[in-house]
Chain A
């Protein structure tokens, strides 16, 4: 390149630099007045970004799409996993996160300011198996499930399983355990449940997105686990309920706290959330576990899925945009959730969440 050309290039570049500086200064100047009260109706196009859990992704993407058609708020969401969502919220690289696993105290203390967990829908984990001989749904207790995953129950005709299923012709075959290999909210919900019903599980593997499995093989994703279970006679595994239903996999009935054997249907999953919400009293922290819920027809392996909102780091106006969206999602988005196979929050829970959203709109006085 000769000097003349270089000079021409510099001439072209300089205005660009100037524009960049101008924009940067606008940003600084505009920050303070922009925070003042804006009515949502006449705001210009708003872009919000979020990242996190994969389980609610089909629901969220539909919600965001529907919401964008009604309002001028466009929400971009990347389903990178719950852990990634939490990391990005802590790093302030997104406006909101989404997770199937509540943030730990350690993670919360790393955030500047509170991180609100807003439940948006319910998730549940189905216990699935591959036993062509068994026509009736298998009945299982929490202890039996824990013993299988701990490797104590090794064969299908174990007396403990036979006692739960007196009429079923359980085969004399090895139980081939399949678990998730990747860290996942599904594993968290299952391990949370097993830890709350079985002392040995609580002391051993404990609760986590990745736990130390005593036995079995790992599949990647719900599809990986489901694929392995389908392929192997005698297999035993766990998957997300929506996935199990869509793929017509056999699903066990699990004994709940009241002693009833419950199938993971929408009503039973919803009942778990309702019975726990009843015992919440005045608390507004929705980081609560729904496993082993007390309701008579509550499915015991149930959980919220949450949107993570950190009002302090995204500022008042974006917080309002998000609460506005959440109000819409909880009220008008319910039908879509059902249509896609998700279980919406029960009315009592939704009411509490909506009340919490109202509080978030008014930032606390410091």
Chain B
């Protein structure tokens, strides 16, 4: 055989089966990006009337008053970002700990069941997390945490710890979200830690490092951008979570000034209002807000992809 195997000299005609197969596969592959483009297009098209009328007020306005056709989604956007931020702050250290335990420290017989249990958290339906939030987290906050903070610690006057003890709150949403995104962050982290070359560890140990020093100085820095990627993935999930958050956040369309205040998220706003929205401008405004959410999660996911790709390449070079 001379020349490349699929050169035109040796194969003047492609077999029909190949052509059909290739066309089918290409079509299937194109469906997915096409869907995304269509989705974006439909949302943009439906949101256009509200964008034209309300403009930047859609994102910057703080009054969402359907009866008077005022659509400012700032409280929901702030609530989305804050609840996700609380979740990240709570979940990241736990996830890092869980990942280090399952990738580095735990004996082999413990790794598999531990990994399985953590991954299992991701399989629980979000409505179940919501119920857990309603029956466990919210009563706990209302009858133990909130009275403790305001009466025992006397922090009632301190910003971010004031307000009546409703129970459903920004903090409740953050707590439930933290548990929900934990397995996503932990499993990405575990993969990233396992991707750290063995030579890195051996070098650290050869220099006389203890196990902890090895993890801290040799493994974690190597996996840093991977950790960021995993956290971003968790963030993307937290931003879009709807059901569980709607059940515990209190659905109050005002900018929260305390962790104990009820708040709102964009996803909850959409879930609550879409089915009964009949005004043209109301629908259009909901579409615009959906577009904001879509863009945010797309950006976060793109960032996560890029970071994970970077860490993979770095791992390959070393």
Contacts and interface: CB of A to CB of B under 8 A. Distances in A.
Contacts of A213: 252-253
Given A174-B164, A176-B164, A183 B277 contact: yes
A207 B272 contact: no
Interface string B228-258: 0000000000000000001100111100000
The listed residue with most B CB atoms (<10 A of its CB), out of A212, A227, A228, is A212
A233 B65 CA distance: 29
A331 B271 CA distance: 38
Contacts of A208: 66-67
Nearest to B21: A1
Contacts of A211: 65-67
Interface stretch (B42-50, B113-121, B134-142, B298-306): B134-142
Contacts of A206: 67-68
Tell which of B139, B278, B279 has the most Cβ of chain A within 10 Å.
B278
A210 B247 contact: no
A225 to B, nearest CB: 10
B262 interface: yes
A1 B66 contact: no
A217 B275 CA distance: 20
A86 B16 CA distance: 52
Contacts of B63: 212
A107 interface: yes
Interface string A97-111: 000000010110000
A82 interface: yes
A83 B246 contact: no
A13 to B, nearest CB: 17
Interface in A305-349: none
A321 to B, nearest CB: 26
Q: Which has the most chain A C-beta neighbours within 10 Å: B17, B66, B142, B275? A: B275
A191 B278 contact: no
A250 interface: no
Contacts of A119: none
A209 interface: yes
A218 B276 contact: no
Nearest to B164: A174
B134 to A, nearest CB: 7
Given A181-B251, A208-B67, A218-B250, A84 B139 contact: no
B20 interface: yes
Q: How large is the interface on B (under 10, 10 to 19, 20 to 34, 35 or more residues)?
A: 35 or more
Contacts of A183: 66, 272-273, 275-277
* Residue from B63, B139, B168, B276 with most neighbouring chain A CB atoms (10 Å): B276
Nearest to B70: A212
A210 B275 contact: no
Contacts of B279: 104, 106-107
A86 B278 contact: yes
Contact of B278 (A83, A182, A220): A83
A219 B251 contact: yes
Given A181-B246, A210-B67, A80 B166 contact: no
Interface string A211-234: 111001111100010011001100
A80 B17 contact: no
A205 B67 contact: yes
Interface string B60-73: 00011111101000
A184 B278 CA distance: 11
B226 interface: no
B232 to A, nearest CB: 29
A87 B278 contact: yes
A206 to B, nearest CB: 4
A2 interface: yes
Nearest to B15: A2
Contacts of A44: none
A217 B273 contact: no
A81 interface: yes
A83 B275 contact: yes
A3 B139 CA distance: 68
B65 A212 contact: yes
A43 B20 CA distance: 50
A183 B272 CA distance: 7
Contact of B275 (A2, A182, A191, A205): A182
Given A2-B17, A182-B271, A183-B276, 16 more contacts: A1-B16, A1-B20, A83-B276, A84-B275, A107-B278, A107-B279, A176-B164, A176-B166, A183-B275, A206-B67, A209-B276, A211-B67, A218-B250, A218-B251, A231-B138, A232-B142
Interface of B: 16-17, 20, 63-68, 70, 134, 138-139, 142, 164, 166-168, 246-247, 250-253, 262, 264, 268, 271-273, 275-279, 282
21 contacts: A1-B17, A1-B20, A2-B16, A82-B278, A83-B278, A84-B275, A86-B278, A106-B279, A176-B164, A183-B273, A183-B275, A206-B67, A208-B66, A210-B282, A217-B250, A217-B262, A220-B246, A220-B271, A231-B139, A232-B166, A232-B167
